[in-house]
Every structure is written in C-alpha cells, then in structure tokens.
Structure 1
Amino acid sequence: MAKLSCVTWNIHRAKGQDGRVDPDRIVDAIGSAIVPLAPDVFALQEADGACRPHARIIDVERISELTGLDYIHDQPGLRWGPQSDGFLGTILFLHPELKRLHADVIDLPGHCHRGAISVETKVHGRECRIISTHLSLSQPLRIMQMRVIGQYIRRRPQMQTLLLGDLNEWSPWRGLAFSRTVVGTALRGPSKATFPTGRPLLPLDRILTDAPGRVSAAFVIDHPDTNLASDHRPLHGDVDICEMGE
C-alpha cells in the first residue's frame, strides 16, 4: 500500500508566541522539527501577507532546500499575485517523485477572501488529489467553502482526495462541512488538538481523506522551536493511497 507522510502548519504570518515577527525563525523551526519527519507533503497556511498584495513572508527556496521538496507554485496562475509565494497564504510543497498531472487554485466564498490549492498527482502509479486550504472560522461559511471544493472535485476525474490545512473545525468529531452531504464524498481523519500552541485544546488543523484511503499515525508536533514560532502546532499524518475500489 502506498503511503504519503503529510505535515500541515499554520505559521501565523511568522508571528511567534513572544509577539515577534521572525520569518527566519519559521524556517529554522522547519529545519529542526519538520525535516526529521521527511514528509512527502508539506502545507503551510498564513504564509503570505494578510492584505493585498499578499506579499511573500518566508524564504520558500530555503524551505525547499531544507526539506528536499518541490515548491509547487512555480507558475504565476498558482499564486495570488506576482508578490505572493502562494494562494491567499496557502503554500504547498511535494516530494519530487509526486509528478504534477494537473493543478488549480480555487476561490472560496466568504467575507474574508479564502482559497485552496489543488494538485493531482500519482503515488506509485495510483492517482490522487491533494488539496490544501485555510477555511473560515464560521461554520456556515465553512460549509459553503467545502461545497465549492466538492463541486470542483466533482468536475475533475475520479480519484482519492486528500485534504489538509487549517480547516478551523472546532468540534472533536469530523464536522458537517466534511460530510458526503456537503462535499459529495466523505472526508475522514483523526482530530488532534493543535491550537493554541501553549495548551492545545482545539483540533483546528486536520489531515483528511476519502475512501478507500485512511489517515493513520497522526500526531501533533510538540517541539520548542515550532511552539515558539507560531500560535498553531504542526500536525503530522500518514495517508494510505489506494486504487479506487480497493
């Protein structure tokens, strides 16, 4: 069975628990806490400026060098604008062996502009779709946003979907926004408290997938460097990638 090791982290625009904005500290924390896990998929949220022009904050080239992963926003259409590194703060890195078959950005509704990045790839010959996003704090808006993502998935070829990022789902269960009723496919995965960093109580960050895959070995990364660098702790999870129908 093919597995993808995944990590997602909301870096809070490089503002740490001490109130200091330090992009280099984020990169150093990635080197000390994330690199040893050797993820195949690494997603960041709040990794560009909050307001237009959503300007770059961190050194994505250095992150790519440290992790050995490919920065996938190399085409202008996969970034919000010429001064951005990602799409509305979402930046995705993938293992070099995960060859890109197709990639899109997805605009999501809401009073605060949100978006997602979707990449279709192959894992040991099995196609899968990786979507990273940062959803709204409001449950009605999350449902609307996931409905848009679900409509996008329905228009694309059928394959296993992996969703990761700061999904802002406070409840300890899966959440209505990720149900088959809303998305058209049921997205499931463990709930692990990642926020706030000092004493995590809420499972805001998630790694989910639909059938026939599943998420295993999920744990919250508790490292002094990442704990200081952001208000969220990173989340790790292994995702089984299966042939449809297995």
Structure 2
Amino acid sequence: MAQQANFSCISWNIHRCRGNDGRFDPARTLQVLVDEVWQDGVDALILQEADEECPPHAGLLDIASVEAATGLRYAHGAVEQRWAPRSHGFLGVIMFLRPDIAVRRMSLVDLPGHCHRGAVVADLTRGPKQFRLIGTHLSLWQGLRLAQLRTISQHVFRQAPLPAILVGDLNEWRPWGGLALSPRLLGNAFKGPAKPTFPISRPVLPLDRVLATDPAKVKTTCVLDGPGIRITSDHRPLLAEVALPG
C-alpha cells in the first residue's frame, strides 16, 4: 500500500495502555502494535494517549522496541520536543518517522481547555518534497474543539506555507466535520475520508481522521481491526495514504 503513495501513516489512540478489560498493560499494547497494527512500508506512526494523563506525563511504551519493530525513528529525542524529560511525546501525542524523513522544525502547541491537550507540528523533508505533519488529540467538547483547531490553524498560519496533513483523534463525530473543520474557521480546507473508528466493537463514529490541505490529497484510508486491537484500546487504528505535490 505504502509503495503507491508519497506518504503513508498510521494513527492510533492507545488509551494509555488500558484495555477494555480494565487491565493496564503496556507490553500487550506493544505486542498488538507489532502484530496487528503495524504495516510494512508505512512512513509514519502517530500515537495519542501514549503518555500518562497527569503531570509529569511520563511515557508508557518502550520506545526502543517500537523503533526495532517498525524500523521507524522516534521523533522526540530532544527534551524540547516533548512535554518533559520523562515524557515520550507532547501530552500523549508521539510521532515515529522513517529515517529518510528529516524533521526541519518541530513545534509543540498547547491547546486551550480544562482537559490538557496538545498538538505536535513537524515540518518535514523527504527528498525534494516538503510538507507539514500535525499530530493531535482534541477535546470531546465541540466548543473546545473549535478553539483548539483555531489555535492550531493560527500557529500554522504564522509559518511558511506548506501542504499540511492533520492526523489524530479529533473527537469529531460528524463526517462533514461541522464548524470545527470549516475553512472559514481554519483559513484552509482540511479534506479526507471520514470512516468510523469508535467504539471499538462496532464503530459508528469517525473520531480518528487523516486530513490534508491542497495540493496534498488523502488518497485512501483503512480502518484496521483484529482481536488484539479490540481488547487493547477503545479506538481502532487508521491507516492512510497521502499524495504529496511534486
């Protein structure tokens, strides 16, 4: 699948390694990631709820094991690229990238709301292509989603223009995105399929999305499934292919 696309990624909310059986088990989450979620040739893995919920937001997974199993490179090696020294990402959002994708700049965007959420904005280069990857986890509350996406879009607006890919648990249940994904609010149109990923047993809500701005285009998305996936998290992972401009 990844061979036919310019960029491919997997997004997964791992529910802080707490399964539907109530068991906290990072080793099980890692095993399911390796056995059922990971796809050979994919360019990026973006996880949500991969750090503890409360400060100091300590990391939950074995980063070296994720790198070894996927061949990807952990993108948050420097302390300034994550919440705190014990964190693995920024408020639970973690990026892994193929080694041939260079991070030119990474910004951490604190989002408004009573439930602490954030976004990781990475300007990337792969050969002659330059693009922006935005990983995030938004609020359950519609009003806060509006404010959070507006905050992200205002941050991006102040950067050099690049085709952008928005990835993560957006908690937006309406396939059309509503006002939260309105170009009038964001200043740009983030477009892509809306496929149900929640709840885990019988998904009906497209909470997890991969969306892109022109001239980038989301070609396909695929909701992943498996017996381990169904017990390990409350969201199904989403695999996407994105065509980037030349």
Shift of 1:113: 1.2
**Does 1:99 pair with 2:102?**
yes
8 Å contact 1:56–1:83 — kept in the other structure?
yes
Distance (Å, rounded) in 2 between the aligned partners of 1:55 and 1:89: 9
Which of 120, 123, 127 in structure 1 is aligned with 2:123?
120
Indicate how the Cα distance of structure 1 residues 85 and 20 shifts in structure 2: closer, same or farther if over 3 A, else same.
same
Is 1:20 aligned with 2:20? Answer: no
**Residue in structure 2 matching 1:84, options 77, 87, 105:** 87
Report the CA distance between 1:107 and its aligned residue: 0.7
| Distance (whole Å) between structure 2 residues aligned to residue 55 and residue 103 of structure 1 | 20
Opposite residue 42 of structure 2, the aligned amino acid is P
Whether 2:217 is the aligned partner of 1:224: answer no
Q: Any gaps of 5 or more consecutive residues in structure 2?
A: none
Q: Displacement, 1:124?
A: 3.4
CA deviations over 1:55-101 (Å, ceiling 9, x no partner): 11111111111111111010111111111111001111111111111
Q: Tell me the residue number matched to 1:199.
A: 202
Maintained 8 Å contact 1:2/1:242: no
| TM-score, length-scaled by structure 1 | 0.95
How many pairs does the alignment contain? 243
Deviations 1:1-43 (A, max 9, x none): 9611111000000111211111011111111123334320110
Match of 1:129 in 2: 132
In structure 1, what residue type is equivalent to 2:176?
W
Partners of 2:216 and 2:39 in 1: how far apart? 25
| Contact kept? 1:55, 1:84, Cα under 8 Å | yes
Q: Which secondary structure does the structure 2 equivalent of 1:36 belong to? A: coil
Counterpart for residue 240 of structure 1 = 243
Q: Any conservation in 1 of the 2:40–2:70 contact (CA below 8 Å)?
A: no
The 1:38/1:30 distance shift into structure 2, 3 A limit, reads farther
Calculate percent identity across the aligned residue pairs. Answer: 45
Flag structure 1 segments of 5+ consecutive residues without an equivalent: none
1:199 partner letter: R
Distance 2:161 2:18 in 1: 39
CA contact (8 A) 1:2 1:124 kept: no
Indicate the SS of the match to 1:169.
Answer: coil
Cα RMSD of the aligned pairs, angstroms, is 1.3
Matches within 5 A, 1:162-177: 162-177=165-180
